[in-house]
A and B are shown apart, each in its own frame.
Chain A
Amino acid sequence: MSAPGINDFTLRVATVNGTGSASANGLLMKAIFRMGVPVVGKNIFPSNIQGLPTWYEIRVTGDGHAGRDGEIHFVIAMNPETYADDLASLAPGGVLLYDSTWPRPQLLSRPDVTVLGAPLSAMCNEAFKAARSRILMKNMAYVGAAAALLDLDLDVIKQLVTEMFAGKEKLIPLNMQAVELGRNYALQNFTCPLNFRTKPMEKAKGKIMIDGNTAAGLGMVYGGATFGAWYPITPSTSLMDAFQLYCDKLRVDADTGLHNYCILQAEDELAAAGLVIGASWAGARGFTPTSGPGISLMSEFIGFAYYTEVPLVICDIQRVGPSTGMPTRTQQCDIQLCAYASHGDTRHLVLYPAHPGECFEFAAMSLDLAERFQTPVFFLSDIDIGMNDWMVDELTWPEDYVPDRGKVLSAEDLEETKAFYRYLDVDGDAIPYRTLPGTHKKGAYFLRGSGHTKLGRYTEKGEEYKEVVDRLYDKWKRAAAFMPAPVVTPASRPARLGIIAIGSSDGAVREARDRLEAAGMPVDYMRIRGFPFSDEVAAFVEAHDEVFVVEQNRDAQLLGLIITETAAQKEKLTPVLHYSGEPLNYRFVYDAIENAVKVRKIA
């Protein structure tokens, strides 16, 4: 695999959290993006407010790859506590920039990397008076040094600083002064630019940088959600923050000042689920964002919504489990949980968005599916998608979109109806009609989580119970045709090998696939986007000798689900499992598949 070069390298900034470095790092990435160069940003941060190590990784990828590289070529080491790890993380030939205000002889232990020292603190302490601003300005100083070393466009940086401090204009010259301090020091003391660096391109036209939670929150607004409830939990909180922000901006009635939405902060996740189920039963389009621990707590209510057929949208922004796990690290560890959450025979609809663009689209789709099928729908994202900024196509909304509210009887419908039975399959499509409270006395019915007949009456008779749950299974199976179809990337020539993946694995998998093919190993790739699976999944496995199921958990949950829920032959499936908590990188996938293929050949 190639050495770093122009618009092809990975930069990692190591800082201490709570020191204001996030905005400096965002600025660095945005500057490269504004230069028209595709970037991949990953924030690897602690579950903490201040004082623990945090990293921000920026992959500069002129080729437009969407995942991580796996190698690091340039480190800006601002956290003495992690110097040793940061030095070790560099690929041979890499460069490390550190704050040389204090001598760090241990940084000289690797002869195969270049260590550059810039007295950033000393310069900032001299130039700025207030203690807090010294800390903040140090961040801008490393941005300046990086600008010199990587040949960033200073005008772009200045423009970004201006936007950043709109309304606090006094701070613009101070911040630019800090940028200049770092930049000038680098220009005077190092060979600038480095041999890997940026160069303006035209590849960011029509693109935006956005995180998946923001896109999903916005998608809920455009999808017509009027109700949201949640209990704060990392990493889902920013989804509701976005929904709240855009509702405040776009959904307040200009004349009355009244809200065309209701957002409730629940006392816990059990209540969050109950709030949304109550609101959905009453007819609102509602959702709740949460993470794995929240799903565990909501499980009783999820089964209730499934059995009583109340629409329920849950956005699970997955984080590392089990238990508290690593709350700020990413995994795809709730695949099985969400497929079957709750006691008894329960099975749900699940959407697997792969990037913020799909988060925007699938948010509304989840509302449609929940109301059409009157059942829980999981929007299964993760920290990598939800909290990192991704470069995606500018979001657009179809002008002709009409929300699918499903089968809801109006007062007029009910007036004409002889008798209404909540769970009767009138149309033969396994989906009954529902009514909303307050519509018409003929529409009144009693919702119950206890055994009920197709007419909605209480029962403890086996046959009557079975009739309803068999229809529920049928309804669930029929939903497969309404899930977004798998996306298949075929090899350019017939391939014996295949890859199956979901969600945030996509960027790394696509790159690995491309590189494997370039290295003489053609592989077809299928990205599944919904559960229940379409028949295409089994057919894909059938058409290949071996299929690698790439996923981000220890227990091969997706692979297990494919075995359980399709006719795919177990023997053909090989797990490729990444579960360290860091976002997947292409080298991991490439190596795993290359090694497996080599082993097969030897055997």
Chain B
Amino acid sequence: MTSFVKPKIRRKNEPLNDLGLARSDYDGAMSTLCAGCGHDSVTAALARAYFELSMDPKDVVKVSGIGCSSKTTTYFLRDAHGANTVHGRMPSFATGAAAVNGALSYVGVSGDGDSLSIGIGQMAHAIRRNVNMLYMLENNGVYGLTKGQFSASSDIGSTAKKGAANTLPPIDPAIFALSVGATFVARSFSGDRDQLVSIIKAGIKHRGFALIDVISPCVSFNDHKGSTKSYAHTYQYYHKAVHADYVPPSEEIVTSYEEGDVMPVELHDGGIIKLRKLDADYDPTDRAGAMDHLLRSQATSEILTGLLYIDESRPDMVEHKKLTDTPLHSIPYAKLNPGAEALRKVQEEFR
């Protein structure tokens, strides 16, 4: 694998966003993943979301671990800092970076191996800390780079390319995240661009840890008959429970909400996420209810998607730790140095 520089081509009359940037300004290097890989669709959805939100790429920080999914952080936002870290350890790196500068927008890209096996501990604790970041879990039920071993998200009975069936229970990232205190849990599908882009935008704007579990089929090792993470299987069992739209603070809200149909969730930046319930009895602000639905859908093989749970009330890590607004790297030393007199006083107890 080599990273190829993607030529920047500006088309005539290309739509520009509020910053005067085109969609192609949100691209990165050429993808080196297999043709048809779900991850490339997720990459495109990410680029589109940042474009539509008119975010300055330099104010975004991309982080990832190891695996096919983790490679994709080079494929979008070439003008953003990025870090491809250690297998399963992206959450700690991202947490450290996010603590330094709360003004930037952080996106972690991971996979089911990176997040649910080697990295499940770190993911859990980033969720608990409510680190302000978007966390994309590109879920294909298989280890791609090592050629086809089952991952921890494989369903019981799902078969490998050579026929062996998985017999261990899967870890559902959404259920797991809810159980450890996630404040934003969503699920989507790489094949549903519209839903994915709108959920990504909501996740970026959510203050706190936003987990998006994206079913993103592996065309090389897990797209065959018998796999429950194939395109065909996902299309068949795909079920939208809640639709979410992000409305920026500048846009006047003119829509009137019908009781029980659309509910607005106010965000900390003044924007709003409009939740449209597609299942009448689903309440995405009810943690126990969301958990109940997810557990039931597991039993029916239904793939419940949409913004499944949101809680804007919990403080994120920066607020919880009472961090100063100045990035930690820019606090003048004069402010950090308590001075000679303080040092003398501190030592009184040692005399």
Contacts and interface: CB of A to CB of B under 8 A. Distances in A.
Interface of A: 34, 208-210, 218, 221-222, 224, 226-227, 229, 246, 249-251, 253, 256-264, 266-268, 270-286, 300-301, 304, 308, 394-397, 399, 401-403, 435-441, 443-450, 457-460
Question: Which range holds the interface residue count of chain B?
Answer: 35 or more
Contact of A441 (B3, B58, B95, B321): B58
Nearest to A445: B81
Given A274-B96, A282-B100, A397-B340, 18 more contacts: A218-B343, A246-B346, A251-B338, A260-B326, A267-B121, A267-B124, A267-B125, A274-B85, A274-B92, A275-B99, A278-B94, A278-B97, A280-B96, A284-B329, A438-B101, A446-B73, A448-B83, A449-B85
Contact of A259 (B94, B322, B340): B322
Interface in B294-326: 321-326
Contacts of A399: 340
B79 interface: yes
A222 B92 contact: no
Given A222-B338, A250-B342, A271 B59 contact: no
Contacts of A34: 351
A250 B61 contact: no
Contacts, number: 223
B97 A224 contact: no
B253 to A, nearest CB: 31
Interface string B146-176: 0000000000000000000000000000000
A261 B326 CA distance: 11
B9 interface: no
Task: Give the 8 A-B CB pairs with smallest separation, nearest first.
Answer: A278-B96, A274-B92, A283-B329, A279-B96, A437-B81, A278-B93, A282-B100, A208-B350
B83 A447 contact: yes
Contacts of B63: 278
Contacts of A300: 86, 89
A401 B337 CA distance: 10
A402 B333 contact: yes
Contacts of A227: 96, 99-100, 328
A335 B330 CA distance: 35
B1 interface: yes
B278 interface: no
Given A271-B125, A438-B58, A284 B343 contact: no
Contact of A437 (B2, B78, B97, B324): B97
A257 B81 contact: no
B44 interface: no
A258 B257 CA distance: 39
B321 A259 contact: yes
Given A396-B343, A437-B81, A283 B1 contact: no
A366 to B, nearest CB: 16
Contacts of A281: 83, 93, 96-97
Contacts of B324: 253, 256, 258-260
A260 B336 contact: yes
A405 to B, nearest CB: 8
Contact of A271 (B78, B81, B92): B92
Contacts of A440: 58
